[in-house]
A and B are shown apart, each in its own frame.
Chain A
Amino acid sequence: MECRDIINTLAACLQEGGMNPGLASFVQILLGVVLVTLAPLIIVILLIWVERKFAARIQDRIGPNRVGPFGLLQTIADAVKLIAKEDIVPAGADRFVFNLAPIISVVSVILIWAVIPLSPIHIGVDLEIGALYFIAVGSIGTLAIMMAGWSSNNKYALLGAFRVVAQLVSYEIPFVFAILIPVMLAGSMGMQDIVEAQRGMWFFVLSPIAMIIFFLSAQAETGRAPFDLIEAESELVAGYNIEYSGMKFGLFFAGEFVHVLTNALLLVALFFGGWLGPFVDQVPALGFVYMFGKAALFYLFSLLLRNTLPRVRIDQMMNFNWKFLVPLSVVNVIVVALLLQIVRALGLAPAPELANDFVANLPQAVILLLGNLAIIAVVLNMLRNFGRSERPAEAAAIRKDEEMLPAQAAH
C-alpha cells in the first residue's frame, strides 16, 4: 500500500515517516474508530439546536437565543448542566443494569455509523453484509430500553418499556422488508455497492413504496411523532426513562437525536443515491456535501411531521403496522422480485457495461415504477372502500351517543 491520501492510507504514510508497521496500522484504526464515534456525538449538539429552533418557529416562538450567537451554544450549556446534576439511582434499582442501559442505547446507534458511506472513499468499514449489520446493531437498542425499564424498579418505567418493545419489534418487520428492495436491486448487501448501483437511476424511482415504508417505520423505530408512544409524557409519566436524570437521561436523549439523523442518512444511501452527485468522482470530499445535504431534507421533513401531527393511539399504531405496513411490504417485495426477473428475462435490464447510463436504465425503471404505481392504486382503492364502509358505522355510533346524552341528563 502506498501513501496517497491522509485518511485511507494513513498507515502507509506513517510507515514512510519511519513508524513500525504494526503500530502504524493500529494508529490508523484507532483514529478511524475515534472519528466515526465522535462525529455523531458532535453533530448531535447542532441537531438539538436545529430541532428546538424548528419547533419554536412552528409554535410561533423564538427558541433558544441567549447562549452564543442565535443560541447556538445552548446545547453545550445544557450538557454542562446535565453533567453537574446529582446522579440519582432509585431505591431497589439494579444498579449495574441501570447504568449500562443508556450506554447501550447510544452505542447501538453509533455502531451504525461504521457502515454509512459518506463519500466514495470515506466509510468506516465497507462490510460485505453492511445492510444486515446495521439492522442487527440497530436491534440492540430495543434491549437497552427493556433493561432501562426493568432496572428502574418502577411500574411506569416497566409498562413504558413493554409498550416500546412491542412497537419496536413490530416495526422492525416492514423496516427489514423495505431494506430488502435496494439489496435486491443492487445484488449486494455492501453499502458502497448499493450506492454505486444507483449511478444510473436512484432506487427511489424503482420502488417508491419501499422508500415510504422505510421512512414510516424508521420514524416509528426512533419513536418520533406520530409514533412517539415511547415517551408519551401525558399518559405514561415519561415511559421507560422516567427514573433517569442528569447525563444518563441525556444519553438516551442524544441517542434518539442521532438515530433520526442516522435513519435519514441510511434513507439517502439506500434510495437517493447516497453521495452521488456532479463531480463527486473528481472531488470525493463533495460526497459529504451531497450526503448530508440530502439527509438534511429528510431530517427536516421528519421534524415537520413530529411537530405538526397528533399522537396516534397504541392500538391504532399496532393496527397500522400489522394490517397495513407488513402486508404492503411483503406484497412489494414479491412484486419487485417478480418484475426484476421478468425484466431480466426480456433483456430489458441495462447491460453491465451500460449500468451507469441513465438511458439504458430507463426501460427497467419504467417497468418497476409502473408495478409500484399499480400497487399504490390498488391499495388506495382498498383504503377508499374500507373508509366508505367504516364511516357510516362510525357516524351511527356517534349519533347513538348523542341520543343517549339527553336521556342521561334527564336521569
Chain B
Amino acid sequence: MLELNPQSIAFFIFAAFTIGGGLGVATSRNLIHGALYLILSLFGGAGLFILLSAPFLAAAQILVYIGAIAILIIFAVMLTRSMTRLGEVYNRQWWLSALVGVGFFVLLVIGVILPVFGNLDPNAAPLDVGTTMDLGIALVDGNQFVLPFEVASVLLTAALIGAIVIARDRD
C-alpha cells in the first residue's frame, strides 16, 4: 500500500485539483467559470511539477498560464460575450466525443500505464536531479538546445506580430 506521507497527500490534493478543474472546463455552462476551472487545473499541474522537483517549470506555469493565458482567455470570453449567449453547450457528436475520450483513456492505461503499474517502491526515482541551473545551461548550450531556443523566440515574435495583425480593427 502507498505510504501516507506529506508528499503523497500533496500529490492527491494537486491531482484532484488538476482533474476536477479539467472536468469543470469540459462541462461548465458559464465560460467564465470554465476559465476559473482551467486556472484551478493549471495550478494543480504546477503543484505536480513541484512534487516532481521541477520548480522552474512550476513557476513558469503559474506566470505564463495563470498570469497571462488565463487572463487573455477571460478577456476573450468577455469581448465575444460568450457568457451571455449560453445556448447549447455541446454539439451533436458529444456522445461520440465522450466515447473517443474514454476509449483513448483505456488505450493509454493499457499501453503506457500497465507496464509500470504496481511499482510502489518509494525509492524508484533517482535521488540526484538536474537543477534549474542545469536547465539554463542546457537551453543555451551549443551542443544541446540553443537552436530550438532561438527558434522558440522567433515563434514568439511571429505570434506577437500575428496576433496584433489579426485582431486589429481596420478603421
Taking the complex as a whole, does A directly touch B, i.e. does some CB pair lie under 8 Å apart? yes
User: Is B155 located at the chain interface by the 8 A CB criterion?
Assistant: no
> With A97-B36, A129-B56, A142-B67 as given contacts, are A165 and B62 in contact (CB-CB < 8 Å)?
no
- Of A39-47, A143-151, A371-379, the one with at least 4 CB within 8 A of chain B: A143-151
CB-CB under 8 A from A94, the residues of chain B are 32
Those of A144-200 within 8 Å (CB) of chain B: 146-147, 150, 158, 162, 165, 169, 172, 189
In the assembled complex, the CB of B152 is this many whole angstroms from the nearest CB of chain A, namely 17
User: Is A289 located at the chain interface by the 8 A CB criterion?
Assistant: no
CB-CB under 8 A from B56, the residues of chain A are 129, 132
In the assembled complex, the CB of A147 is this many whole angstroms from the nearest CB of chain B, namely 7
Q: What is the predominant secondary structure among interface residues of chain B facing chain A?
A: helix
CB-CB under 8 A from B131, the residues of chain A are 128
CB-CB under 8 A from A162, the residues of chain B are 75, 78
Those of B31-90 within 8 Å (CB) of chain A: 32-33, 36, 39, 55-56, 59-60, 62-63, 66-68, 70-71, 74-75, 78
Do B63 and A169 touch (CB < 8 A)? no
Do A143 and B66 touch (CB < 8 A)? yes
Number of A-B contacts (CB under 8 A): 57
User: Is A133 located at the chain interface by the 8 A CB criterion?
Assistant: yes
CB-CB under 8 A from A140, the residues of chain B are 62, 66-67
Do B55 and A127 touch (CB < 8 A)? yes
> With A97-B36, A132-B59 as given contacts, are A143 and B71 in contact (CB-CB < 8 Å)?
yes
Do B60 and A132 touch (CB < 8 A)? yes
In the assembled complex, the CB of A194 is this many whole angstroms from the nearest CB of chain B, namely 14
Do B62 and A142 touch (CB < 8 A)? no
Do B63 and A147 touch (CB < 8 A)? no
Choose one: A129, A169, A172; the contact of B55 (CB below 8 Å): A129
User: Is A62 located at the chain interface by the 8 A CB criterion?
Assistant: no
CA distance A150 to B56 in the complex (A): 31
CB-CB under 8 A from B33, the residues of chain A are 97
User: Is B132 located at the chain interface by the 8 A CB criterion?
Assistant: yes
Choose one: B36, B55, B63, B66; the contact of A128 (CB below 8 Å): B55
CB-CB under 8 A from B71, the residues of chain A are 142-143, 146, 165, 169
CB-CB under 8 A from B59, the residues of chain A are 129, 132-133, 135-136
CB-CB under 8 A from A146, the residues of chain B are 71, 74
Residues of B whose CB lies within 8 Å of any CB of A are 32-33, 36, 39, 55-56, 59-60, 62-63, 66-68, 70-71, 74-75, 78, 131-133
Apart from A97-B36, A139-B67, A142-B67, list 20 A-B contacts with CB within 8 A.
A97-B32, A97-B33, A127-B55, A128-B55, A128-B132, A129-B59, A129-B132, A133-B55, A136-B59, A136-B60, A136-B67, A137-B62, A139-B68, A142-B71, A143-B71, A146-B71, A150-B78, A158-B78, A172-B67, A189-B132
Ordered by A's residue number, 19 sampled pairs between the chains whose C-beta atoms are within 8 Å are: A94-B32, A97-B36, A127-B55, A128-B133, A129-B55, A129-B56, A129-B59, A129-B132, A132-B56, A135-B63, A136-B59, A136-B67, A139-B62, A139-B68, A140-B67, A143-B70, A150-B78, A162-B78, A189-B132
